[in-house]
Amino acid sequence: MSSPTQHLVADYDDCQPVLDAGLNTTDTMTLNNYVFPTERLTKTLSDSTKTPLVLVSCGSFSPPTNLHLRMFEEAADYCEFETDFEVVGGFFSPVGDAYKKAGLASAHHRIKMTRIAVQDSSSWIGVDPWEPLHKEYLPTVKVLDHFDYELNEVMGGIETATGEKKRIQVALLAGADLIQTMSTPGLWAKEDLNRILGHYGAFILERSGTDIDDALLSLQQFRDNIRVIPQLIQNDVSSTKIRLFRKRGKSIRYYIPDKVVDYIYEHDLYVDDEKKQSEKGKERASGDSTPSGSSAIAAAS
């Protein structure tokens, strides 16, 4: 359980975000007691001739879909067969609440859902809560810098079979829609693009209905660091469509992991706001002044 000291620190630091430390614990985490999640990282590089790689996917994940998970798997296959990289880990880094995007569930819920999505389905994809533990919005470049620091400065890289340490390459994993925004003048700071694409690099998964060629033309100076992964089986599932289905009362099962679906239903996420207000009105009319159980508790915790 969280200590009194943790609560005092959170209160003192102007409502510093507090998240659960994991799925099966009552402990909480703030920036003050944050620990980088290393449990799913490969401990030893299997091929010392290859460059160790950690893939980082930044985004809302509201909610995480099967396509988000497939991005990691397709990138890992691509690296194994088409590059000299060896993937030693992958991370979801959900954006913080300060992002204020329409349809964005609280960081508490999104961290829970991404953890649930990978808990039983993957042995190498993890979830890092560092970004949403900040009360301010963090640009993508700062998130990648964080991973680079934790993996190479704190951990010292990864061991090879001979016991020596090798520096880990960090790279951004994203869909084609992100690279389109990077090619749009004025949307990204030039210095951020230089560091993200020039220093770290990006693995971009093709998406149905997204023309990536024009975007790549305006990013030619980074062409050696942008690797486009073909999507051999087309999948255009998106979080936006999942939220729309929920608002219309349609089933979302089999588009996203089953246990994430259960979590969404349990906590009444992504239903239409007008419907929520109507339900609250019915509760008040029936004399029940208690908030609706687990969803209210979860949102406050």
User: Residue 77: beta bridge partners?
Assistant: none
Question: What pLDDT, on a 0 to 100 scale, did the predictor assign at position 209?
Answer: 66
User: What are the pLDDT digits (tens) for 273-286?
Assistant: 544 444 444 333 33
Average pLDDT, the chain: 86
Q: Is the pLDDT of residue 17 over 80?
A: yes
- For the chain, domains (ranges, CATH) are 51-236 (3.40.50.620)
Mean pLDDT, rounded, for 51-77: 97
Whether pLDDT at 301 is above 60: no
Strand segments, DSSP code E, in 99-180 are 125-127, 158-159, 165-166, 169-175
DSSP assigned state of 33: G
For residue 207, pLDDT over 60 is answered with yes
Which contacts of 135-141 are long-range, i.e. CB under 8 A and separated by 24 or more positions? 135/14, 135/15, 135/16, 135/17, 135/96, 135/97, 135/98, 136/96, 136/98, 137/95, 137/96, 137/98, 137/99, 138/95, 138/96, 139/189, 139/192, 140/58, 140/172, 140/192, 140/196, 141/192, 141/195, 141/196
- State the Cα angle at 77 between 172 and 121, rounded to 5°: 85
**Cβ-based neighbours of 192, under 8 Å, separated by 6 or more:** 139, 140, 141
For residue 76, count CB atoms less than 10 angstroms from its CB and return exposed for 0-12, middle for 13-18, buried for 19 or more. Answer: buried
Tens digits of per-residue pLDDT, 143-186?
A: 999 999 999 999 999 999 999 999 999 999 999 988 889 988 88
pLDDT tens column, 101-159: 888 999 999 999 999 999 999 999 999 999 999 999 999 999 999 999 999 999 999 99
Report whether 50 contacts 79 (CB < 8 A).
no
Of the pLDDT bands very low, low, confident and very high (cuts 50, 70, 90), residue 287 is very low
pTM value surpassing 0.95? no
- The mean per-residue pLDDT over the stretch 249-276 comes to 89
Residue 192 or residue 300, greater confidence: 192
**Tens digits of per-residue pLDDT, 88-102?**
999 999 999 999 888
Instruction: Classify the phi-psi angles of 151: left when phi > 0, otherwise alpha if psi is within -120 to 50, otherwise beta.
Output: alpha
